[in-house]
Structure 1
Amino acid sequence: MSAGGSVEQLLRRVSPGAYGTYENYEALLQALAGSQVWMLLWNGQAGSPDAQYGNMEVAGYGYAPCVTSAQELAASGWNRAHEVVGGRDIAAALFPDRWGIWLNPHAPGGGVGIPWLDLRRIAVGLDQLPAGPLRISEPTLQIPQFYALLTQNAHRTPVVRSLRRAWVRPALGVPYLTVGLDLYDNGPASVEAARQMMAQSVAAVPDGLPVSSVAMADDYDPVAMWMRSQSRPFFDRDAHAPAGYDASRAPAPGFGYGYPRPF
Structure 2
Amino acid sequence: MSASGTAAAGTVEHMLRQVTPGRFDAYEALLQALADPGTGQVWMLLWHGQAGSPDAQYGNMEVDGFSYAPCVTSAQELSASGWSRAYEVVGGVDAARTLYPDHYGLWLNPHAPGGGVGVPWLDLRRIAGGLDRQPAGPLRLSDPAIEIPQFYALLAQNAHRTTAIRSLRRAWVQPTLGAPYLAIGLDVYDTSPVSVDAVRAMMQQSVVAVPDGLPVSTVAMSDEHDPVAMWLRANARPFYDRESHAAPAAPSPAAGYGYPPPHGTY
TM range, smaller chain: 0.7 to 0.9
Residue 237 (structure 1) aligned to one of 235, 242, 249: 242
Match of 2:106 among 101, 104, 115: 101
Q: Is contact 1:13–1:24 with CA below 8 Å preserved after alignment?
A: yes
Asked if 2 retains the 8 angstrom alpha-carbon contact of 1:13 and 1:19, the reply is no
2:15 partner SS: helix
The Cα offsets for residues 44-93 of structure 1, whole Å up to 9 and x where unpaired, read as 00011111100000011000000000110011110000000000011011
Listed as ranges, the gaps of 5+ residues in structure 2 are 247-266
User: Equivalents in 1 of 2:245, 2:173: separation in Å?
Assistant: 29
Q: Residue 123 of structure 1: SS of its match in structure 2?
A: helix
- Counterpart check, 1:196 vs 2:201: yes
In the alignment, does 2:118 pair up with 1:113? Answer: yes
How far off is 1:211 after superposition?
Answer: 0.2
Indicate yes or no: 2:78 matched with 1:86. no
Q: 1:153 aligns with which of 146, 153, 158?
A: 158
Supply the AA of the counterpart residue of 1:221. Answer: D
Q: 1:54 to 1:210 in 2, by over 3 A?
A: same
Q: How far apart in 1 are the matches of 2:239 and 2:202?
A: 16
| In structure 2, C-alpha distance between the alignment counterparts of 1:56 and 1:186, rounded to whole Å | 37
**2-structure distance, mates of 1:163, 1:76:** 50
Q: Distance in 2 between matches of 1:75 and 1:40?
A: 13
Aligned mates of 1:140, 1:53 — CA distance in 2: 44
Answering whether residue 31 of structure 2 is matched by residue 26 of structure 1, we say no
Q: Aligned pair 1:68/2:73, yes or no?
A: yes
Partner of 1:261: none
- Say whether residues 1:184 and 2:189 are aligned partners: yes
Match of 1:260 in 2: none
TM-score by length of 2: 0.86
Residues of 2 paired with 1:19 and 1:52: CA distance? 31
Secondary structure at the counterpart of residue 131 of structure 2: coil
Secondary structure at the aligned position of 2:110 is classed as coil
Q: Secondary structure of 1:233's partner? A: coil
Q: Distance in 2 between matches of 1:220 and 1:81?
A: 31
Distance 1:64 1:111, change over 3 A: same
TM-score of the two chains, using structure 1 as the length reference: 0.87
The residue aligned with 1:47 is: 52
Q: Distance in 2 between matches of 1:20 and 1:134?
A: 14
| Displacement after TM superposition at 1:20 (Å) | 5.0
Q: Read off the aligned partner of 1:69 and give its amino acid letter.
A: S
How large is the RMSD of aligned CA atoms in angstroms?
A: 1.5
Match of 1:174 among 174, 179, 194: 179
List aligned pairs for 1:128-143, cutoff 5 A. Answer: 128-143=133-148
Q: Counterpart amino acid of 1:143? A: I
Conserved in 2, the CA contact under 8 Å of 1:41 and 1:53? yes
Q: Which residue of 1 aligns with 2:11?
A: 6
Cα distance in 1, alignment partners of residues 200 and 138 from structure 2: 27
Instruction: Provide Cα deviations, 1:83-136, integer angstroms capped at 9, x if missing partner.
Output: 000000110111001001100000000000000000000000000000001000
Task: State the alpha-carbon separation in 2 of the partners of residues 21 and 60 from structure 1.
Answer: 23
The answer to whether the 8 A contact 1:13-1:20 is kept is no
Q: Evaluate the alpha carbon distance shift between residue 167 and residue 240 of structure 1 in structure 2; reply closer, same or farther with a 3 A threshold.
A: closer
Write the mapping of 1:196-235 to structure 2, written as runs, cut at 5 A.
196-235=201-240
